[in-house]
């Protein structure tokens, strides 16, 4: 079915309460996608829209991958569901092994969930279970960061440093403290990691000095903060956080929901920065976004400590979801990982990274552009706000769509994240359309 056959009326859009969307505004001027293939989407008016954010950073292999659809279809016919509690199916074990092969040692154990938000809740519970199993139950505090995004469940909102995402919801986890974020007005248009700012990691040391390091359970960090607009870690910052965690027995959690599976040109950000966390959360590109799935990976010590603390034959970790390791998601995940290897997609990002960054930097000097930040296939194009933070970004996202490019804005920052299969000409097309839309906003 192509766009011309899709019928809708304003009323027919009313029933769905849309997530993270201005519902009234959208329903007055909807933007529906009726087809997606490769790097392009087709809107309901028949327009071609290049996908400049890989959906929501989740379809790096491009849309409509036949191999994934076929694998899911075959799985659905062979075995459409299997309880993950006390039972299993081969696909879940195969995918866990495949994912573990991409992880730094000694992170070798993978727990499946259905989204990034569930991965964060699961990681919180794993930290609790680990400390409890070691008799270290006084570790009741969690550390996150200003401008952090860790999904939208109560765990993730408790760790949220994005104010709008939490101000409506006052009932969150207690005992969460926030380190400062790493963006600085002093390092605008800095290509690569900021050279200054490693000392911001000492916020964690201050919490240890203030509350006692032995009261802190875990620190949650997006190695590159994505949803807030691509904030890079200063040189030496992640290393310093790791050191403080080690000195105080605190678990380090890398939230790699966006950075995982090649977005920075390495399997995970952990390899890009050479810093190994204790726990890693992931989702999105695990299945190329085709079927919802997330995962949490842990070091051997965490898995062994929690499992060995219970008597034989007992459940060790009272946690899991009806759809943990769903056969369809595992089939999509295995097909996705196969394509990544067959097409050398992580290497492709590494090869084209500089081209992408240079293309983004061609926006420098535009009157509306306040800052540019980029690494791998992930960039933040921040524009000056128009007096009401976020208003210009919201408008630009809509205008850009009608100019034929989808890019997710957060506040006044466009998060440009091409698909790994994108050709250089596609990157040029995205940047040209962004420039045109910025020009129109000035006119």
Ligand X SMILES: Cc1ncc(COP(=O)(O)O)c(C=O)c1O
In this complex, which beta carbon is closest to ligand X, that of residue 115 or of residue 217? 115
Using CB under 6 A as the binding rule, the residues of this chain from 156 to 195 that contact ligand X are none
Cα separation, 194 vs 198, in Å, equals: 9
What's the closest the beta carbon of residue 247 comes to ligand X, in angstroms? Answer: 26
Calculate helix-pair angle for 424-442, 345-361, nearest 10 degrees.
Answer: 30
Cα separation, 142 vs 262, in Å, equals: 28
What's the closest the beta carbon of residue 57 comes to ligand X, in angstroms? Answer: 7
Looking at 59-67, 187-195, 253-261, 351-359, which segment touches ligand X (CB under 6 A)? 253-261
Looking at 13-21, 113-121, 139-147, 178-186, which segment touches ligand X (CB under 6 A)? 113-121
Looking at 146-154, 235-243, 244-252, 302-310, which segment touches ligand X (CB under 6 A)? 146-154
Using CB under 6 A as the binding rule, the residues of this chain from 399 to 438 that contact ligand X are none
In this complex, which beta carbon is closest to ligand X, that of residue 151 or of residue 213? 151
Per-residue H/E/C for the chain: CCHHHCCCCCHHHCCCCCCCCCHHHHHHCCCCEEEEEECEEEECCCCEEEECCHHHHCCCCCECCHHHHHHHHHHHHHCCCCCCCCCCCHHHHHHHHHHHHHCCCCEEEEEEECCHHHHHHHHHHHHHHHHHHCCCCCCCEEEEECCCCCCCCHHHHHCCCCHHHCCCCCCCCCCEEEECCCCCHHHCCCCCCCCCCHHHHHHHHHHHHHHCHHHEEEEEECCCECCCCCECCCCCHHHHHHHHHHHHCCEEEEECCCCCCCCCCCCCHHHHHCCCCCEEEECHHHHCCCCCCEEEEEEHHHHHHHHHCCCCCCCCCCCCCCCCCCHHHHHHHHHHHHHHHHCCHHHHHHHHHHHHHHHHHCCCCCCCEEEEEEECCEEEEEECCCCCCCHHHHHHHHHHHHCCEECEEECCEEEECCCCCCCHHHHHHHHHHHHHHHHHHHC
Choice from 40, 149, 207, 401 touching ligand X (CB under 6 A): 149
Cα angle 389, 394, 397 (rounded to 5 degrees) comes to 140
Q: Does 42 interact with ligand X (rule: CB under 6 A)? A: no
Q: Does 150 interact with ligand X (rule: CB under 6 A)? A: yes
* Token output for 425: 């000409």
Choice from 103, 231, 238, 258 touching ligand X (CB under 6 A): 258
Looking at 144-152, 379-387, 399-407, 416-424, which segment touches ligand X (CB under 6 A)? 144-152
Long-range CB contacts for residues 17-25, cutoff 8 Å, separation at least 24: 22/394
Calculate helix-pair angle for 327-342, 345-361, nearest 10 degrees.
Answer: 80
In this complex, which beta carbon is closest to ligand X, that of residue 259 or of residue 352? 259
Q: Does 377 interact with ligand X (rule: CB under 6 A)? A: no
In this complex, which beta carbon is closest to ligand X, that of residue 133 or of residue 162? 162
What's the closest the beta carbon of residue 181 comes to ligand X, in angstroms? Answer: 14
Q: Does 257 interact with ligand X (rule: CB under 6 A)? A: yes
In this complex, which beta carbon is closest to ligand X, that of residue 115 or of residue 288? 115
Choice from 255, 371, 382, 412 touching ligand X (CB under 6 A): 255
Choice from 104, 151, 229, 262 touching ligand X (CB under 6 A): 151
In this complex, which beta carbon is closest to ligand X, that of residue 42 or of residue 53? 53
| Site map (CB under 6 A) of ligand X, residues 208-237, x = contact | --------------x---xx----------
Give the interface size with ligand X as a residue count (CB under 6 A): 14
What's the closest the beta carbon of residue 149 comes to ligand X, in angstroms? Answer: 5
Residue nearest ligand X by beta-carbon distance? 116
What's the closest the beta carbon of residue 114 comes to ligand X, in angstroms? Answer: 8
Q: Does 116 interact with ligand X (rule: CB under 6 A)? A: yes
In this complex, which beta carbon is closest to ligand X, that of residue 227 or of residue 324? 227
Q: Does 289 interact with ligand X (rule: CB under 6 A)? A: no
Using CB under 6 A as the binding rule, the residues of this chain from 55 to 84 that contact ligand X are none
In this complex, which beta carbon is closest to ligand X, that of residue 295 or of residue 359? 295
Q: Does 380 interact with ligand X (rule: CB under 6 A)? A: no
| Interface positions with ligand X (CB under 6 A) | 115-117, 120, 149-151, 222, 226-227, 255, 257-258, 283
């Amino acid at each position: 079915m192509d766009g011309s056959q899709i019928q809708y009326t304003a009323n027919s859009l009313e029933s769905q309460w849309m997530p993270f969307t201005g519902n009234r505004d959208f329903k007055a001027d909807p933007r529906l996608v009726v087809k997606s293939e490769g790097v392009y989407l087709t809107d309901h008016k028949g327009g071609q829209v290049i996908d400049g954010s890989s959906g929501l950073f989740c379809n790096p292999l491009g849309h409509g991958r036949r191999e994934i659809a076929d694998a899911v279809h075959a799985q659905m016919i062979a075995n459409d569901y299997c309880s993950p509690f006390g039972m299993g199916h081969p696909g879940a074990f195969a995918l866990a092994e495949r994912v573990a092969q991409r992880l730094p040692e000694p992170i070798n154990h993978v727990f499946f969930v259905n989204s990034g938000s569930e991965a964060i809740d699961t990681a919180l519970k794993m930290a609790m279970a680990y400390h409890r199993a070691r008799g270290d139950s006084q570790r009741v505090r969690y550390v996150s960061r200003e401008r952090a995004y860790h999904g939208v469940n109560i765990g993730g909102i408790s760790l949220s440093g994005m104010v709008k995402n939490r101000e409506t919801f006052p009932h969150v986890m207690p005992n969460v403290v926030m380190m400062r974020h790493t963006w600085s007005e002093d390092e605008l248009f800095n290509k690569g990691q900021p050279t200054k700012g490693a000392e911001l990691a000492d916020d964690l040391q201050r919490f240890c000095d203030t509350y006692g390091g032995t009261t802190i359970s875990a620190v949650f960090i997006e190695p590159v903060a994505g949803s807030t607009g691509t904030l890079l870690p200063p040189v030496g910052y992640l290393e310093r956080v790791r050191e403080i965690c080690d000195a105080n027995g605190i678990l380090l959690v890398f939230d790699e929901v966006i950075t995982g599976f090649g977005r920075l040109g390495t399997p995970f950000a952990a390899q890009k920065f050479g810093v190994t966390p204790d726990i890693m959360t992931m989702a999105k590109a695990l299945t190329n976004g085709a079927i919802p799935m997330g995962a949490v990976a842990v070091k051997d010590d965490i898995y062994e400590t929690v499992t060995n603390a219970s008597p034989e034959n007992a459940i060790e970790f009272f946690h899991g979801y009806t759809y943990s390791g769903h056969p369809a998601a595992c089939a999509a995940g295995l097909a996705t990982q196969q394509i990544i290897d067959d097409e050398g997609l992580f290497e492709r990002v590494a090869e084209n990274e500089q081209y992408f960054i240079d293309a983004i930097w061609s926006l420098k000097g535009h009157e509306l552009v306040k800052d540019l930040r980029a690494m791998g296939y992930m960039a933040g194009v921040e524009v000056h706000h128009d007096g009401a933070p976020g208003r210009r970004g919201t408008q630009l996202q809509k205008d850009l769509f009608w100019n034929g490019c989808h890019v997710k804005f957060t506040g006044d920052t466009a998060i440009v994240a091409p698909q790994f299969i994108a050709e250089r000409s596609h990157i040029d097309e995205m940047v040209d359309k962004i420039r045109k839309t910025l020009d129109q906003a000035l006119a």
